[in-house]
Structure 1
Amino acid sequence: MHDLADQLTIELPYLRRYARALTGAQASGDDLAYETLQRILNDRTALIADTPLRVAVFRIFHQQWTAMATAPSAIDQGDHAHAQKRLADLAPDSREALLLSTIEEFTSQQVSIILDTDIETVHSLIARAKSDMKRLSEGLILIIEDEPIIASDLSRIVELAGHRVTGVGRTREEAVKLGKKTKPDLILADIQLADGSSGIDATHDLMKEFGGVPVIFITAFPERLLTGNRPEPAFLISKPYNESHVTSAVSQAMFFATTVLLAKP
């Protein structure tokens, strides 16, 4: 039992990241993730034999999420209210398939096990999610990034996805100035900037100016932010990223209009 608990501890930060992105709320996502692990610790037979632990854990989480999402008591209550309304516009399991394959980087075969369906259906769900979320989530994006090549690449990716970049801030001061000039619908922010300033501080400054907008943080060390302490970012892209990571995270964040800021360092 002790060995299993240790292995589950390794998976927990990523399960929590997925849960928060899926539910659109930090508290409810975390609760669902912990309930999943408790179920496993109470009954190890819930895990599928001869299946990688991470896949088996996410499969059990999906069962928990499906039961919660379809229960009448879960609809339009607390943190779930906005999430449920938005999810009603999507085909069942489509967002799940997209998140699992992009942000969590499961293979199509693994996603099919988690969702208990076939690979062809997984591909169809992902295509449907991309189409629906693009239709529902286009908007203005401010990029906070000090590396010109990365900033240019991020701009290209989000513009191809149908969004418009309002500007690129390379320092805290520059980002705040740009944000005030044209209020973005979403902020895509690196954590550490070249001049020693922080993308976290820049987002805090902008929130004081015009209230909440969804924020996605980018970092080469996601485990340093997924610590189990609150607050944590609901949307977090790991470096090195790929195009699907960025496209999916931006769509997810704008879809739920979720704002979760980190505490100032």
Structure 2
Amino acid sequence: MSLGSQIAANLPFLRRYARALTGSQVSGDAFVREMLEAVLADDTLKASLAGGRVPLYRAFSKVWGSVSGAAATGTATSEHEIGAQARLGTITPPARQALLLTTLEDFTVAETAAILDRTPEDISQMVASAIAEIEREQATSVLIIEDEPLIAMQLEDLVISLGHTVSGTAATRTQARAAAAEAMPGLVLADIQLADGSSGLDAVDDILSVGTMPVIFITAYPERLLTGDKPEPTYLVTKPFQEATVRAAISQALFFGSTKPL
């Protein structure tokens, strides 16, 4: 596989990481573009990316790390970005990176250490610190939109174990709309393709038209949403998922207070 093909295959997931890291699709994509421009201008850096995902994320981390503090989020252009920027200063950026890399992006501790130029021991400590800091957020109610009963039950158990409550569950767009009308949730976990052929995206649009809350989409086909052609969900978990990944996504979504895709 050519270098260009390797980068293209991993780019949707790097953009997902950048978006979760900054709390904004606009800012995240800007940092990815800056990294790609740096690669085009440096043959040595370009050659180093032949090693796969680790050097790609390492190159991105160097670009992102070159901008300190709240400046890393760029200019706030929406309620989502304003909320993200207000919270970025309260958690150490390397700890946030370590948490996202080991959960959302499923890198090993050793791979994450290579990406961030840290020791594995440092990474373990940073992940523990990030989880402890983020979990101090206030508990909320969660609406689960999922048409597979076993997965819905798994998500219910996970949500409750994190100290949140389940406001309702739904397997279709109609059920989701009714559940939100009965009890407006503080967070939504939504599958994309629902039992009756309806769309989880449409169900979420219905709910966001009358309320504001973070949304985490869960799908077996993330590349269908990570196209760069239109606004994308900030928090996107791939099926089959690890509970640690969903836990991290919930913590990040509540931490940033995100609302609609940007």
* TM-score w.r.t. length of structure 1: 0.91
1:250 maps to what in 2?
250
Structure possessing the higher relative contact order (Cα contacts under 8 Å, 6 or more residues apart): 2
Report deviation, 1:6. 2.4
Percent of aligned positions that are identical: 44
Query: Aligned partners of 1:137 and 1:56: how far apart in 2?
Result: 36
Query: Aligned partners of 2:71 and 2:154: how far apart in 1?
Result: 43
Query: Aligned partners of 2:4 and 2:126: how far apart in 1?
Result: 33
SS of 2:167's partner is strand
Residue type matched to 2:45 in 1?
A
Task: Summarize the alignment of residues 1-265 of structure 1 with structure 2, pairs less than 5 Å apart.
Answer: 3-46=2-45, 52-70=51-69, 77-79=75-77, 81-136=82-137, 138-210=139-211, 212-261=212-261
Deviation larger for 160-169 or 17-26: 160-169
Residue type matched to 2:232 in 1?
E
Residue segments in structure 2 that go unaligned for 5+ positions in a row: none
Q: 1:73 to 1:258 in 2, by over 3 A?
A: closer
- 8 Å CA contact 2:24–2:73 kept in 1: the answer is no
- 8 Å CA contact 2:54–2:115 kept in 1: the answer is yes
Report deviation, 1:20. 0.4
SS of 2:213's partner is coil
- 8 Å CA contact 2:84–2:258 kept in 1: the answer is no
Q: 1:64 to 1:165 in 2, by over 3 A?
A: same
SS of 1:166's partner is strand
1:154-192 C-alpha deviation (Å, 9 max, x unpaired): 011121112111110111111111112211111100111
SS of 2:61's partner is helix
Query: Aligned partners of 1:215 and 1:145: how far apart in 2?
Result: 13
Query: Aligned partners of 2:121 and 2:174: how far apart in 1?
Result: 48
- 8 Å CA contact 1:20–1:234 kept in 2: the answer is yes
Query: Aligned partners of 2:152 and 2:194: how far apart in 1?
Result: 12
Query: Aligned partners of 1:89 and 1:166: how far apart in 2?
Result: 29
Residue type matched to 1:169 in 2?
A
Q: 1:92 to 1:20 in 2, by over 3 A?
A: closer
SS of 1:155's partner is helix
Query: Aligned partners of 1:138 and 1:48: how far apart in 2?
Result: 46
* TM-score w.r.t. length of structure 2: 0.92
Report deviation, 1:73. 5.3
Q: 1:47 to 1:106 in 2, by over 3 A?
A: farther
